C-alpha cells in the first residue's frame, strides 16, 4: 500500500470533470466504455493505450469485443483509485474525444 488513494474530494472533482467515467459499485475502480467504428479503430486505440500504460507502468483492466473497449482503472498498490488512475483518465480524455 505504498501509493495514496485519491481523497473523496479529489475523486469527486475527477468525476465532475470527466462525467463519461463511472465509479464502480464498490468504489474502488473507475469504468468507461469506448465505442469505435470497427475493430481496426478500436485496436488502434488499444495500441495507443498500451504504449501509454507500459511507459507509465500502470496497466488497465480491459475488455474488447469488435468496436467496443471497456476500461477499468484501479491501483492495486493503493487498494483503490490513485493519482495514476487520474492521470490515465486525463490522458484518455485527449485521445478519445
- Using CB under 8 A as the criterion, which residues of the chain lie in contact with a second copy when the complex forms? 39-40, 43, 46-47, 50, 53-54, 59-66
Shortest distance, position 9 Cβ to a second copy, whole Å:
29
Beta carbon nearer to a second copy, 10 or 70: 70
Q: Considering the complex, what minimum distance in angstroms separates the CB of residue 51 from a second copy?
A: 9
Q: What number of other Cβ atoms are within 10 A of residue 48's Cβ?
A: 14
| CB closer to a second copy out of 60 and 80 | 60
DSSP, res 27: S
Dist CA 47 CA 82 (whole Å): 23
Of 69 and 86, which CB lies nearer to a second copy in the complex structure?
69
> What is the residue whose three cell numbers read 474525444?
97
CA distances, 29 to each of 24, 43, 66, 77 (Å):
5, 23, 24, 13
Amino acid at each position: 500500500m505504498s501509493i495514496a488513494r485519491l481523497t473523496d474530494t479529489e475523486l469527486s472533482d475527477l468525476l465532475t470533470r470527466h462525467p463519461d467515467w463511472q465509479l464502480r459499485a464498490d468504489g474502488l475502480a473507475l469504468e468507461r466504455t469506448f465505442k469505435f467504428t470497427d475493430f481496426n479503430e478500436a485496436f488502434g486505440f488499444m495500441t495507443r493505450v498500451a504504449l501509454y500504460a507500459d511507459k507509465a507502468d500502470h496497466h488497465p483492466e480491459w475488455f474488447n469485443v469488435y468496436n467496443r473497449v471497456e476500461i477499468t482503472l484501479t491501483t492495486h498498490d493503493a487498494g483503490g483509485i490513485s493519482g495514476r488512475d487520474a492521470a490515465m483518465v486525463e490522458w484518455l480524455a485527449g485521445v478519445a474525444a
